[in-house]
Amino acid sequence: MDDYLDRLKKGTLKLYALETSLPPEQAVAVRRAFIEEETGTPLPRLGAFSIDIERVVKRNCENMIGAVQVPVGVAGPLAVRGEYADGAYWLPLATTEGALIASVNRGCRAVTAAGGAEVRIFRDGMTRAPVFATRSAAHAHETVRWVEAHIDRLRHAAESTTSHGKLLDIVAFVAGTSVFVRIEFDTKDAMGMNMVTIASEKVAGVIEAATGAHLVALSGNLCTDKKPAAVNGILGRGKTMVAGVFLGDDLIADVLKTTAAALAEVNYRKNLVGSARAGSLGFNAHAANVIAAMFIACGQDPAHVVEGSSTMTTVDPVEGGCYVAVTIPALQVGTVGGGTGIDCQRECLSLLGVAGGGDPPGSNARAFAEIVASGVLAGELSLLGALAAGHLARAHKSLGRG
């Protein structure tokens, strides 16, 4: 190890090159030792991990020095009645926020007692939106018309790059001389960003050659990836879905210690009016909490929590109780690729019965999305109940104090 440390200090060896000379575990240890010496900070806990890093250092993490452990708890069982997920599930939630899992657990109890969350996927498509520069308004118009007239040609080009992805739709947007071509793909069980990026590059090349429009960037931010955006709320990105449950008056009183009318008013004044007054793109209590906890546990890209936070929660008063629902316009999930192959994360996906590719293709990712959406519903329901009953501060005092 000393020889490698000396070379790193002298600059004759780069941190990123250690894996070319050493097995992954040794390379990580040497890199961590170097950072410990450089910063004067001992990092023994970062070096204690159980995952097999052979795959991780090649696909998931450059310049790896160790792993951060996030506590994982379970909430459930949660009854889900979807088209792809139909059963009772224990939700793995990775979090450091005290009271979160207890809250979701109570929501799971209410949803399950009510017969389960009915959940449906309304749209399923991952997007990428290259931006082109044109010469004038007329040229921009010509470019858009060409794209609209040659969808089949562009579909053939896109699908030549992948054996799994299917081009679903192309919608063009114009701002002055800029043309944004928002391309949507069915990516099956993969979250699919790598897939759609490669396919979109092929499509962009065809458009550029045929129209003379200059490709400026393969992503023009109208995708929109990892940023709050109205376009995702309107057109959807990833899975667009709704999960809902009818709760009777007796159940609300027994489990949530409140009433249907109180739930409806809290939701109206907090989630709808309050969010509108704040100019929020999300109309929910804490949907991102559940999405983030499940994403971290199950190897999803946590940055996509941004899109998930655009969830809208609704409470419809009906005879004998109320119908509570969450509408999630942009949920990006996958069960293959990315972090889903890391040992701990794969175990969490296996806990839900959705690890790896589904049969038929795409069914595992859709089942996982339905479970996540149902978990969001449970989380929203519990927090609304706590607020309506005046229990929120009490729960955080007992469970969330540092």
Name the catalytic one among 249, 265, 301, 347: 301
Name the catalytic one among 97, 159, 265, 316: 97
Told to judge if 396 belongs to the known catalytic residues of this protein, a careful annotator would answer yes
Cβ pair 319, 273 in contact under 8 A: no
Told to judge if 156 belongs to the known catalytic residues of this protein, a careful annotator would answer no
Told to judge if 148 belongs to the known catalytic residues of this protein, a careful annotator would answer no
Catalytically active residues, by annotation: 97, 301, 396
